[in-house]
Structure 1
Amino acid sequence: MDQADIPALLKRLASDEDAARKMAVFKLQSSINDPAFADVFISSGGLVILRRLIMTTGGNTLAYSLQSLSRLLEVDMGWDIFEGPSSGDLVERVVELIVTNPLVNILRGAMSILVALVGHTGGGVGGASGKVPGAFGFRALKPAVAVYPQFFELVITQLQSADHALCGNALMLINALIRDAVASDAAAGMVGSGRGGGEDWSKFIKRLQDLGLIKAVYGLLQQSSSLQDLALPLLEFQGLTKVLLRKWREVKVDLERPEHRRALKGLHLASAPERRVGIPNGTEDAKTTGSRKHNPEKWRRLGFETESPAAEFEPAGFLGMMDLTDYVRKNEDGFQKLLLEQSTYPLSERCPIARASLAVTMILYDHFDVDKSDLEDIRGYLALNEGKNNDRLFRPLLLQWSRLHTAGLHAFFRMWKTTGAQREDFDKVAELVRILIEQVVGQANRTKDVLEVEDDLQEYDAGRLRELQMELLELSFEDQWGTHLFQVREELKHEALQFVKEQRIRCLLQGSWFSKPMPRNNNAHSRENSYHRRRLYQPWRFAKLSHNRRYLHYADFPEQLAYEPGLEDLTEKVDLSTISSVVSNVSAPNETEPVAPPPADGEADDNSPSSYNASASQQQLQQQKPTTKITIYSFAEDIQPPRADGTAGAVGAGESKEQPILTLFPLNHSLASEWLDGLLMLLNQAPITAETNKLVTLVSEYGLKIRLLNVRLEQMYTGPVAGAGVVPSREGLDEDYFYEI
């Protein structure tokens, strides 16, 4: 609309005909957000007419009027409308519309005006700098809210509206009220008594929470349908929640303040101080112990370190006291039972409940980055393409602070009991709970309900949590001490290899039983001697390394003896210095039972009367097939082919040639791994089986974890102790000294 048409527009706005006013104000709302047009409109007396329309009209005319004023305030103009003796009437009119009018288009405009009014700082354009003090901000609404006390309840109710624009305006109004209340209290603190201002902001927030504010906003954060339209006010509410938490933490616990003194007294009374182990309630001793005599552990029995609890709240401030008192109030019976249970333990084994509560408060405080402003999150959201991939910015669980604190505290008690912790282990248990919070709360997606999070905190496996702690500790050391940690790993791997080598060789020194194959029939002419070979067949072989580790002794037996034969019973031996290689087909076993030798070729179907009648144990052995064998080779001159029983043939003159001199059939996979790698290590070769390599890795990793556990976390980041590396002065020294070598 052209500025030249403004006089005609004002005439129609002032008309007595509703249709003319409605059309004029409809056109006004589409043009008034142009600063040039708005300036002419204001200078022509348009604010007076617009105010009259808001005060007297209804229906669409009122809706368009409210929208026009809202758009005028958006360009930071028209603030004069709230000045003068009648400004309070206009604010009361807008508040009345929110309380009494059911029309969505009117509610939208009314809330938008109050958002601008409460959020205005008073330094804008259009004469706002000459306003009466207190005409803007939260104070501007107090007279009207006194007339309509249900105002805040109805605003919070609009957070459940199906109209996203109305819901967004309601949330922005709440944000503006909270922001102004906190800022006003801070300003009052700078000129007030020096205690950080009054408690108006705290009482106001408590009032909003009692009206269901947290539940309503939590529901909005978990919805996907309205998230895009309400993203910015929701992120702003998250930021204000952090501001409140930070502000509560900054309030120091002071026993001179009545509310703080009452909170501590409530903790003491909720602990049932008259109840003592072994003293029935109601007896004279109980009354004397609980009331007349001063308990020297009045506060320490609750988990404080001293009898001056106010000082112990310093890290968490009043926020820590709020969390502790809230837990005790909601879980009073459990709190008393826990105190009674802990009183039966020695002092060093009792879980300090108060310290644990304060520790969980600070864990949550750090987890949600309360000290960090959410302006970066809002800018990040605006930079994203239509809000894609922005779920990580919304943290509904931040609004469930009290429930997370209670669940985290119960998890602390569980970890304390599971790990069998003592007082000096407090920091270690707190670190476990910190990792638990990071794992459960930090990994929870936006739509995960707080009930599921509470269950996960209570059911998370302590062993898995310990593994996560070690992984995180290793990652921290990798970042801080990467080169040094690599060197430590190499050293530990070498030590583990030597350890496993000694273990494998000790298995050889102890000796083991092996199975032995049936003699083979090579041709038809040799079948006539099969009876004699079968009679000589001995299915068991025992091998053992000599004490000097130079010879491998072995012998064959017709049955497995109940004792282990000595070296004097082992008639054959192999000089380890002559071994050229050790070959095996070691693989994962298919059976857990002992592996037996296969039947000889050509003998499986021999049912003649002259067949060898094996014992029951030998028949059972023959029914099984071996999966592994170990063959030992040696260089010898003109070695004859090995005998059928697997021993070496005769040595004669000739060329040097590698030939098998001994074959072992292990009874199981573990035995095969022990002997194969043991022989290889005796020959100064690397182990090759997966079982041995796994054992080496296991030993080295445990060694690393033990070393990491001996290093305190702060040692990673702090420098050397004071005085370390300082060369002492020679002042005051005489010649009365000596070196001890």
Structure 2
Amino acid sequence: MDSINVSELVERLGSDEDAVRKMAVFKLQGCVLDPSFADVFILEDGLTKLRHLTLHATGNTLAYSLTSFSRLLEVDKGWEYVNQDLVERVVELVVTHPLVNILRGAMSILVFIVSHPYTASNRISQPDSFGFRALQPAMTVYPQFLEMLVSRLSSADHALCANALLLINSLMREAITNDSEADWPKFIKQLQDLDVIKAVYTLMQSTALQDLSHPLIEFQALTKVLLRKWRDVPVDLNKSDHRRALKSIHLASNPERVTTPVDDGEEGSKKRHNPEKWRRLGFESETPAWEFEEVGYLGMMDLTEYVRQQEDGFPKLLLEQSTKLSEQRCPIARASLAVTSILCEHFEIEKADVDDAKIQLSFESRTNFDKVFKPLILQWSLLHTAGLQAFFRLWQTTGAETEDFMKIADLVRILLEAVVGGATRVSDVHEVETEIQQFELARLRHLQMELLELTYEDHWGHHLGQMRDELDHEALQFVKEQRIRCLLAGAWFSNGHGHKSDNVAVAKQDLNPSNPTSQRYAKLAHNRRFLHYADFDVRDDEEPDLEGLVEKIDLTTVSSVVLAPSEPSSSTTTLKATHKFISTRKVTIYGYLLANSRPASPKIHPRMGSTATKTPRKEVTLLTLHPQTQSLAAEWLDGLLMLLNYKPITDETKRLIAMVQDYGLKIRLLNVRFDDMALAGDSPEIPSREGLDEDYYYDILGN
């Protein structure tokens, strides 16, 4: 910087030779970011010559001049030289010039002009030199300015694209912040008509995110500001545009006038408006303006856009609803407003701090951009329509009535949170719409219960743990009883060997086979102490009673139950099992007999749970069952184990226990109101008696 002679540089800027001017302004653009150099440069009257070059130069000289001037504005110098001539020249360049390096500098200057803060002195001395107002006269001369600006968003040059978006952001922010209530909506609509949303949405999903991150996150934040501003505009039917919007919804419904007799003494009839003009559209009353209080004009816009998109479907939907009882009709307007409110909550339009987002971006790697960018917010209208259609589908599927409105709204909230919240930065919006439309109710209910459980977990953590412990025990006892009842009901089994070699006859050394049999029937006695069974040649349609089952096993003599072929070990004292029953489906019951083949009175071992006698015992096969299905095998194996006070081992029974526990927890949670959660924490606030007197009475109702 010290090697540059400022006086000489300023003199060269006014040279008659373009090459000299070009070299001087080229050097200047690298120096003016130094405020001390900028001050000296202005004292040497260099700004006058730089402004002249900005207005009249061409080619690279013009490009360097624009860059230098924008950098002076960046360090807050040279504002006294900004006037309508300069603004109009720069706007002209944006509209007409094809060179990228010139367009970059021109747009940068406009960004600083539009973004320059209003101060008291500025408003008095130069009211139209800064902000959006500074560009309005030039935009009148060049009406294609905004269109050209939006078209630059598709430029292959990322720097030019970023500058164009920065300028659009500046114009939007200025219009939203400082324009009158009547002006800023017109400007925003003008931008929307030029497809700026589509262009920015494409950029957010592109691979150029690193170079465009700051202007894109700013546009996203401004979108939230814009949505919040629309939401905060109250619906006022005294305003013509609000009145027209509501009337368009009514006319799109194909309203029918009601014929009523003329009450003036003359014969005839007269057509009047339907007395339920607005309630038939889903409003709660015939004065619908107040119902937009929560979502304001944003809710009006969403409902109007839905009706416009569903030009044919909207009146058909109303006709379909009119055939139902009043309490079964889905309130279309209320549902639309509810979906708008849900989207506002999901995208957190209350939070639109651009500076925090920029700070976050500065620490994020490009792999974490999905956490910051939410391009689906730019598809607000499509998401609203998809959410509203889902509301109708859930209403019909669940058979909801008027009193269930909030329940359906909660389901839609969970649905949008799951689908829209689960979408990535590059998710296609049409795929998101399809997923919203096809999301299964059962899956949605499951998500609802998970969220409900998490909600109560936060408030009732300790109590919920105790509840789960109780439900574990209850579920186990419930399934135990169910499995034992399967044994009490009895079942048929195929006889795998065709003789009695696998029962207690082996212990009696009776090795002579009997007549071949193909079926075996087993049934637990009502006292649950004996298992009766018998073999049959054929399977009867009528199940045998206990008197017809000639064989029985005293369950106190049972030592083990297994599910795969295995030789009993003399040291076996605990119940054992294997999971190979899918292929074998063979349940083998082992037990103990005395040496003289007479079972002794069993004595339960205090630790092992097996029978013990004073005489030597021998473990033998008491009974073998061949279940024909996996479910039957699980019922009898786990039924026998649980009857003998052992835990079940099959996955099928474990899943059943988990399901019973899960449903028990859900039923208990659904029976608890959110108001009850206060009982688990701080005591509820005692109501004040301020303003109350002694004028009260009791209303005692008799039974």
Matches of 1:521 and 1:269, distance apart in 2: 87
Normalising by structure 2, what TM-score? 0.85
Secondary structure of the corresponding residue to residue 406 of structure 1? helix
- Equivalent residue, structure 2, for 1:243: 225
Match of residue 183, structure 2, among 188, 200, 203 = 200
Greater Cα offset, 532-541 or 202-211: 532-541
Answer yes or no: is the 8 Å Cα contact 1:587–1:627 preserved in 2: no
| Per-residue CA distance 1:397-449 (angstroms, 9 max, x = gap) | 11111111111111221222222222222222222222221222222222222
Partner of 1:47: 47
Residue 112 of structure 1 is matched in structure 2 by: 108
Q: Which moved more, 1:349-358 or 1:254-263?
A: 254-263
Q: 1:698 aligned to 654, 659, 676, which one?
A: 659
Shift of 1:310: 1.1
Of residues 361, 369, 377, the one that matches 2:357 is: 377
* Alignment partner of 1:627 is 2:607: no
Change (3 A) 1:154 1:716: farther
For the pair 1:138 / 2:132, whether they are aligned, the reply is yes
Could you tell me how far apart the structure 2 residues matched to 1:170 and 1:521 are? 91
2:432 aligns with: 453
Q: Deviations over 1:488-523 (max 9, x none)?
A: 12222222222222222222222223344345899x
**Among 75, 97, 105, the residue aligned to 2:93:** 97
Kindly state the Cα deviation for residue 579 of structure 1 after the two structures are TM-superposed: 4.1
Number of the residue aligned with 2:699: none
Matched, 1:333 2:312: yes
| Rounded Cα–Cα distance in structure 2 between residues aligned with 1:45 and 1:358 | 61
Q: Residues 687, 17 of structure 1: CA spacing in aligned structure 2 closer, same or farther, 3 A cutoff?
A: closer
Match of 1:657?
617
- 1:212 & 1:717 partners in 2: Cα distance? 50
Check conservation: 1:80, 1:128, Cα contact below 8 A: no
1:481 Cα deviation after fit: 2.1
2:244 is aligned with 1:262: yes
User: Which residue matches 2:336?
Assistant: 357
Tell me how far 1:381 sits from its aligned partner: 0.8
Aligned-residue offset at 1:305:
1.6
Give CA deviations for 1:3-29 in whole Å, capped at 9, x if unaligned: 872222222222222222222222221
Quote the offset at 1:338 in angstroms: 0.4
Q: Identify which of 388, 394, 411 aligns with 1:432.
A: 411
Does residue 446 of structure 2 align to residue 467 of structure 1?
yes
Question: Residue 659 of structure 1: CA displacement?
Answer: 3.0
CA RMSD of aligned residues (A): 3.1
CA separation of 1:474 and 1:119: change in aligned 2, threshold 3 A: same
- AA matched with 1:247: K
In the superposition, relative to structure 1, how do residues 547 and 129 fare at CA in structure 2: closer, same or farther (>3 Å)?
Answer: closer
Does the 8 A contact of 1:236 with 1:374 survive in 2?
Answer: no
Offset of residue 713 of structure 1: 5.1
Equivalent residue, structure 1, for 2:639: 678
Matched-pair contact (CA < 8 Å) for 2:499–2:514:
no
Q: Tell me the alpha carbon deviations over residues 524-552 of structure 1, each in whole angstroms, 9 at most, x when there is no partner.
A: xx9xx99x944544444333222233333
Partners of 1:33 and 1:76 in 2: CA distance: 10
Cα distance change on mapping 1:199 and 1:583 into 2, 3 Å: same
1:184-583 to 2 correspondence within 5 Å?
A: 184-185=178-179, 197-224=180-207, 226-274=208-256, 292-375=271-354, 376-385=356-365, 387-516=366-495, 517-519=497-499, 533-583=512-562
The residue number in structure 2 matching 1:160 is: 154
Q: Deviations over 1:689-740 (max 9, x none)?
A: 33222222221212222222333456557979978899xxxxx9xxxxxxxx
Distance 1:580 1:667, change over 3 A: closer
Contact 2:415/2:436 (CA < 8 Å) preserved in 1?
yes
Distance in 2 (CA, whole Å) between partners of 1:584 and 1:166 is 74
In 2, are the aligned partners of 1:6 and 1:41 still within 8 Å (CA)? yes
Alpha-carbon distance between aligned partners in 1 of 2:512 and 2:3, rounded to the nearest angstrom: 124
Separation (CA, whole Å) in 1 of partners of 2:316 and 2:683: 44
Taking structure 1 as reference, are residues 712 and 347 closer, same or farther at Cα in structure 2, changes over 3 Å only?
farther
Match of 1:147 among 137, 141, 144: 141
- Conserved in 2, the CA contact under 8 Å of 1:638 and 1:655? no
Deviates more, 1:142-151 or 1:567-576: 567-576
Q: What amino acid is aligned across from residue 242 of structure 2 in structure 1?
A: H
Amino acid of the structure 2 residue aligned with 1:498: Q
Q: Which moved more, 1:34-43 or 1:556-565?
A: 556-565
Match of 2:64 in 1: 64
Give the Cα–Cα distance (whole angstroms) in 2 for the partners of residues 56 and 344 of structure 1. Answer: 73
8 Å CA contact 1:581, 1:634 repeated in 2? no
Matched AA of 1:452: E
Distance in 2 (alpha carbons) for counterparts of 1:62 and 1:327: 49
**Gap change, CA 1:120 and 1:540, over 3 Å in 2:** same
Q: Which amino acid aligns with 1:309?
A: P
Give the Cα–Cα distance (whole angstroms) in 2 for the partners of residues 335 and 519 of structure 1. 74
CA separation in 1, counterparts of 2:625 and 2:140? 96
For residue 116 of structure 1, report the CA deviation from its aligned partner.
0.4
Question: Is residue 171 of structure 1 aligned with residue 171 of structure 2?
Answer: no
Q: How has the CA–CA distance of structure 1 residues 207 and 510 changed in structure 2, closer, same or farther, with 3 Å as cutoff? A: same
Tell me, yes or no, if structure 1 residue 639 matches structure 2 residue 597: yes
Cα–Cα, structure 1 residues 163 and 675, in superposed 2: closer, same or farther, change >3 Å?
Answer: closer
**TM-score relative to the length of structure 1:** 0.81
Tell me: CA distance 1:562–1:451, structure 2 relative to 1, closer, same or farther (3 Å): closer
Partner amino acid, structure 2, of 1:699: V
Identity of matched residues, %:
58
1:709 corresponds to which of 645, 649, 670: 670
Question: Quick one: distance in 2 between partners of 1:367 and 1:553?
Answer: 63
CA contact 1:122–1:131 (8 Å) conserved in 2: no
2:626 paired with 1:666: yes
Q: Determine if contact 2:581/2:633 at 8 Å carries over to the other structure.
A: no
Residue pair 1:26, 1:64 contacting (<8 A) in 2 also: yes
Q: Structure 1 residue 682: deviation in Å? A: 2.8
Long gaps (5+) in structure 2: 260-267, 565-577, 600-612, 689-693, 695-703
Is the CA contact (8 Å cut-off) linking 2:257 and 2:272 kept in structure 1?
no
Asked if 1 retains the 8 angstrom alpha-carbon contact of 2:257 and 2:273, the reply is: no
Larger CA deviation: 470-479 vs 449-458 = 470-479
- 1:583 Cα deviation after fit: 4.3
Please report how far the alpha carbon of residue 201 of structure 1 lies from its aligned counterpart in structure 2 after TM superposition: 0.9
* 1:655-704 CA distance string (max 9 Å, x none): 24153362131333333332333233333333233322222222121222
For residues 301-324 of structure 1, give each alpha carbon's deviation from its aligned partner in whole angstroms, at most 9, with x where no partner exists. 111122221111111111111100
Provide the residue aligned with 1:649 in structure 2.
none
> In structure 2, do the counterparts of structure 1 residues 47 and 520 end up closer, same or farther at CA, with 3 Å as the change threshold?
same
Q: Secondary structure of the residue that 1:543 maps to in structure 2?
A: strand
How far 1:221 moved relative to its partner?
1.2
Aligned-pair distance for 1:50? 1.5
Q: Of the two, which has the highest radius of gyration?
A: 1
User: Are the counterparts in 2 of residues 25 and 65 from structure 1 also a CA contact under 8 Å?
Assistant: yes
Distance 2:60 2:5 in 1: 22
- CA distance in structure 1 between the aligned counterparts of 2:175 and 2:686, rounded to whole angstroms: 52
Q: Which residue of 1 aligns with 2:80?
A: 80
